[in-house]
Chains A and B, each alone.
Chain A
Amino acid sequence: MKNKLKVYRAMNDLTQEDLAKELKVTRQTIIAIEKLKYDPSLALAFKIARFFNVQIEEIFLDTE
């Protein structure tokens, strides 16, 4: 699964640390999601979408 997390983070002028604090996850999780090494759970994906005030599919793209 691809994602635009890095783009949205940059658009909102947030560091990985800031975003991690807001989402209550570790910074390593943000890094792993951005590097496409880890697909977040549905709950976390919704949380991210809600935080950026967009639909979930605008950030996460199904590549299959």
Chain B
Amino acid sequence: MNQNSLKIILILTSAIQTVLWVAGLILANVKLVISALIIIVAILPLVYVHRNDISEMFQRDSNKIVEDERTQLINDKSSTLTLGVLIGTIIYVGLIIVSLRNVYPQFLFTGYTLLITALFGLVIFIISSSYYKRRY
């Protein structure tokens, strides 16, 4: 498959997915959202195979360098900071909501959801960090 047809496929599927997501949210129809997810899963192998060409494919000037080791370092540092702040905030807000369960019992489920989300984020971080520790 040449780059031009891949680019067209990616643009078309992205557009269809967006329409399905938005329609699913507006109409409160989970079938549309699941259809969008199925399209994402179907297109993922194609994206994975061509992952190194995608940024170049959508770049106007292919000769222009937009990413190098310094930008990767910047992304690495800023994403670690973002993750820390985000997880910290979610944990504290979750703890506050759970500790206020006698005053606002209706928000208890929200508090637990926030705590589980933070835990999920930490688990993903630990798994990816141990993977990269073994790799490098």
User: Majority SS of interface residues in chain B?
Assistant: loop
Q: Which of A21, A32, A43 contacts B70 (CB 8 A)?
A: A32
Assembled-state Cα–Cα distance A32/B74 (Å): 12
Check B70 against A38 for contact (C-beta < 8 Å).
yes
Instruction: Report the interface size class on chain B.
Output: under 10
Residue of A at shortest CB range from B69? A41
Q: Is A25 engaged at the interface, CB distance under 8 Å to the other chain?
A: yes
Q: Is A28 engaged at the interface, CB distance under 8 Å to the other chain?
A: yes
Q: How many residues of A contact B (CB 8 A)?
A: 13
Check A24 against B68 for contact (C-beta < 8 Å).
yes
Q: Which of B63, B70, B73 contacts A25 (CB 8 A)?
A: B70
Check A28 against B70 for contact (C-beta < 8 Å).
yes
- The interface bits of chain B over 70-114 (1 if a CB of A lies within 8 angstroms of the residue's CB, else 0) are 110100000000000000000000000000000000000000000
Assembled-state Cα–Cα distance A41/B70 (Å): 9
Residues of B within 8 A of A (CB): 63, 65-71, 73
Question: Known pairs A21-B63, A25-B70, A28-B70. 4 more at Cβ < 8 A?
Answer: A26-B70, A29-B69, A40-B69, A43-B69
